[in-house]
Chain A
């Protein structure tokens, strides 16, 4: 079987400008939503208590909300979680009341209202921990960005490093933008997914850069744009197949992983889709705008280009 019967290099770079403008608009929109709506941070970051309770019958959310607000909690969120029988309750941090008292109080009150309730999980995070997690998350992000840039600059060239990292930060911002727009809960697991995506989609750019370097060595007469088109075309089948197989796994998590892994899988899905797009169109295009040349990648290759005695001179037309 072969899905990709491509006869000629596809002129990807011809549309680079249009696509980059599209990217820019998406990026700006993502930033806009991040700023205006903000992320719906989970309790791990903000501090507070989360309780997951299960009823034997479909739960009456109104009743649960009533019971909890009668205890004097303002700003309580009560939602279904996965099934109609499972309910998740989020309580903000309250001064003077310890976490234990909070969850005890709530579960007692719920038990009084309907005895068939079962406490499945509670989670309490103090405000100081949340603050730390946020800073640690940012540190991790910085570490990944700097680490990958140094590696790419070392293995390839600074222009590729810059192009690769811009392309992938663009992915990250867009994932965050999705989470801000839909107000999906941003938890630690999602943060892990975002960072994993960063490492994973740089992968993609690396494969293409690798091909660009190889093509620069092999086809001495091609222009930079042609080289990039060739590199992308020759890796496109691999790009799509590997992303599809990774997405298969992620899809399986989305389907079978339940509520806990849902947002994690969602972040990966967006990351993978935009990963393809950004490494094909954004990373290579930025490298092109930055003006990658044969001399950058092939030592001494540039001079040979003008050598009339070059045995390869006539090989490519």
Chain B
């Protein structure tokens, strides 16, 4: 009765194999590496970049262990930090000709030393949290109210223009809190205004004022409001991405959390002040006319000086463009930029929307400057860069498009850059954590020591107290640890110090199941059952209890997972996985071991489970005992 069918052993074997395979990468440690990734949306890192990096390294005479391309970045692994630094210099020299305008990020990083065949199986080491590897963590909150009022302000001026165009004489338009008020002299005008607004501005809902006087109150429709908020946070995230790229961080994490929060994690960065400076920077966008005079063209082709009153900017592809100093409109006026396709030519285009005031200026300027070019310049850190310089093809309004010689990707990138040039709404740092690299290493050592010593102490006790069954339990506990590490590596869940604590706790709690089983078997033996029957009913009866107790622990774990954030989440993930693996290892796996060892022996006389103490049935002994002794 204590035999497993072959398929159960097969499951155990497969689980063991997979667990070992995915735990392996954690044992190889990490090697210094140089990581090359794109610094701009327009530069692409691909297999070509990999070939180039290899070439550069060969030319510089730096030996690299391995150069890999993982879809986003190229990583070159080195034997030691000396060659790593040498290689970084060489690669930087070759890939970034102009240090003030880097197309690539060349960052120092650590990569797993595990062999290529493991990486090919997607077996990666556990992802260490900031508290274990050092770095900076920020949580930023987007000021949604500011994003909404900004949008409402521009809508208010849109309403003004729309009403003027339709000859509706209003008595004043103003933004009051989260709504726009439109005053009018009589009900007929009010009705006309309402029709115009609902016709032209579909994102607004209009209601008549309840206080009796002739006023319209326009507010966002709920879905439009959500869209404004979504766009605000998306735009801020894109902007943050662009800025973080400049820091040259190997693996930055920028994630939305909740409706209005962004988490930025920069592993390895120590200079918080600089990081904060860059994240909180303001960028401005300006639209200016290109100087199309003879002097301007001469300066553009490099044969003359830049004329007085002009400035020279570089386009993203490196061509210079000579631009007048006068600003037509600035980025504040730009309300949206979306990529799309021209309906007639089927060419990619970018649709721009500017607010009403900007639209009026655009109309005047474009009328006077037909067939001339207009440059869109992005200023960051006081340094300008021309994003594009299209030719004005006709009279423009508050909605116009940039089209012509663009690919779909270029159109997308341009729209993104136009939108992401500035933050949609101000952000505030509401949480910040800096962990020094030495503290990270300390924390790893502390967590590791806690798990190791605790594990060894438990194993020693189990083996002494339960003999052979203790050995089985210890093996099952070891398997549990292996499985836990393997699953964490597989999921690439972030391991933090609380996570390591959860690992230790999971092992401490997992042994509970084995103690339950072993005590049950002893009890059955005490009751006079044959060894085989005792093993069988011991496992059988303990199972219900193990299930019950694990379910209650699981409930607590899930609550932590659902409501926890930050360190609690790190704890909860490991805790929950630990409970699940413990059920598999402590019951299924240990039973497999016992079956393998004892199950075949038909006439099993005794099992090695330590002392099975039987109270003697004699009355005298019963009288003078009664407690533990």
Contact = CB atoms under 8 A, between A and B. Distances in A.
A1 B610 contact: yes
From B428, B449, B457, B512, name the one whose CB has the most chain A CB atoms within 10 angstroms. Answer: B512
A132 to B, nearest CB: 8
Determine which residue in B443, B458, B511, B563 has the highest number of CB atoms from chain A within 10 A of its CB, and name it: B563
A84 to B, nearest CB: 16
A246 B505 CA distance: 7
A2 B519 CA distance: 10
A299 interface: no
B560 A192 contact: yes
Given A129-B431, A253-B504, A189 B613 contact: no
A291 interface: no
A140 B431 contact: no
Nearest to B575: A196
A203 B443 contact: no
**Chain B: number of interface residues, binned into ranges:** 35 or more
A249 B508 contact: yes
Contacts of B551: 151
A147 B559 contact: yes
Interface in B494-511: 497-498, 501-502, 504-505, 507-509, 511
Contact of A245 (B461, B563, B567, B622): B461
Interface in A233-271: 234-235, 237-238, 241-242, 244-253, 255-258, 260-261, 264-265, 268
Contacts of A98: 429
Interface stretch (A3-11, A16-24, A33-41, A67-75): A3-11
B545 to A, nearest CB: 5
B504 A249 contact: yes
A27 to B, nearest CB: 21
B443 A207 contact: no
A140 B501 contact: no
B474 to A, nearest CB: 11
B64 interface: no
B505 A121 contact: no
B611 A147 contact: no
Nearest to A260: B497
Contacts of B428: 126
Contacts of B615: 5-7
B1 interface: no
B332 interface: no
B565 A242 contact: no
Nearest to A257: B450
Given A126-B431, A252-B504, A10 B545 contact: no
A148 B439 contact: no
Nearest to B136: A122
A206 interface: yes
A88 to B, nearest CB: 12
Interface string A218-237: 00000000000000001101
Contacts of A6: 615, 627-628
A8 B515 contact: no
A103 interface: yes
A61 interface: no
Contacts of B555: 143-144, 147-148, 151, 199
Highest count of chain B CB atoms <10 Å: which of A103, A119, A245, A255: A245
A304 interface: no
Given A3-B628, A249-B504, A252-B457, A199 B553 contact: yes
A305 interface: no
Interface in B136-152: 139, 141
A194 to B, nearest CB: 10
Given A148-B555, A238-B515, A249-B505, A124 B433 contact: yes
B545 A207 contact: yes
B372 to A, nearest CB: 45
Contacts of B556: 144, 147-148, 195-196, 198-200, 202
Contacts of A121: 433-436, 439
A268 B509 CA distance: 12
A235 B555 CA distance: 23
A306 interface: no
B434 A192 contact: no
A252 B460 CA distance: 14
A188 interface: yes
B627 A203 contact: no
Contacts of A206: 545, 548-549, 552
B498 A192 contact: yes
Contacts of A195: 556, 559-560
A153 interface: no
Contacts of A116: none
B501 A143 contact: no
Contact of A124 (B273, B431, B519): B431
B613 A100 contact: no
B460 to A, nearest CB: 10
The interface centre, meaning the residue of B428, B443, B545, B626 with most chain A CB atoms within 10 A of its CB, is B545
A133 interface: yes
Interface in A170-197: 188-189, 191-192, 195-196
Nearest to A133: B565
B509 A200 contact: yes
Interface string B560-586: 101111111001100100000000000
Given A144-B556, A238-B516, A249-B504, A1 B611 contact: yes
A137 interface: yes
A192 B567 contact: yes
Q: Which of A152, A191, A203, A251 has the most CB of B within 10 A?
A: A203
A296 interface: no
Contacts of A253: 450, 454, 501, 504-505
B429 to A, nearest CB: 6
A210 interface: yes
A313 interface: no
B273 A1 contact: no
A14 interface: no
6 contacts: A100-B272, A125-B432, A148-B552, A249-B454, A250-B454, A255-B450
Which 4 A/B pairs are nearest by Cβ-Cβ distance? A199-B556, A249-B508, A126-B430, A252-B454
Interface of B: 139, 141, 272-273, 276, 428-436, 438-439, 442-443, 446-447, 449-451, 453-455, 457-458, 461-462, 464-465, 497-498, 501-502, 504-505, 507-509, 511-512, 515-516, 519, 522-523, 541, 544-545, 548-549, 551-560, 562-568, 571-572, 575, 610-613, 615, 621-622, 625-629
Given A7-B615, A126-B428, A204-B549, 14 more contacts: A7-B621, A126-B141, A126-B431, A129-B139, A188-B567, A195-B560, A207-B516, A238-B515, A242-B516, A245-B512, A246-B511, A252-B450, A256-B449, A260-B497
